[in-house]
Amino acid sequence: MLVDREGLWFRVLAGRYGVERGRLCEGGARGSTWWRELARIREGGGEAGRGWFSEGVLRQVGDGSDTFFWTDPWVDGTSLRER
């Protein structure tokens, strides 16, 4: 789901929770506790600690459709916008 935006699971989750700026949304009130926790982990929060998931994911910039230059955590888990 990090790459295949045309796959079945991405489409199912996008239909359920929505997509914003190319990423699956947390879902707000429609989001299950499980899904909201996954979204927090993706963003570097949650009980598991800061950024453990994104630290294990290799990113290729490519055409930029999956990478947000100013808002993705590039340096020490912090976005360039925050620096």
- For 22-80, the pLDDT digits (tens) are 778 877 777 788 787 777 776 665 444 455 566 666 666 777 676 777 887 777 878 88
Strand residue runs (E) in the chain = 19-20, 23-24, 73-75, 78-79
Per-residue model confidence (pLDDT) at position 42: 67
Per-residue model confidence (pLDDT) at position 17: 84
Per-residue model confidence (pLDDT) at position 48: 44
Token readout for 50 is 């800061």
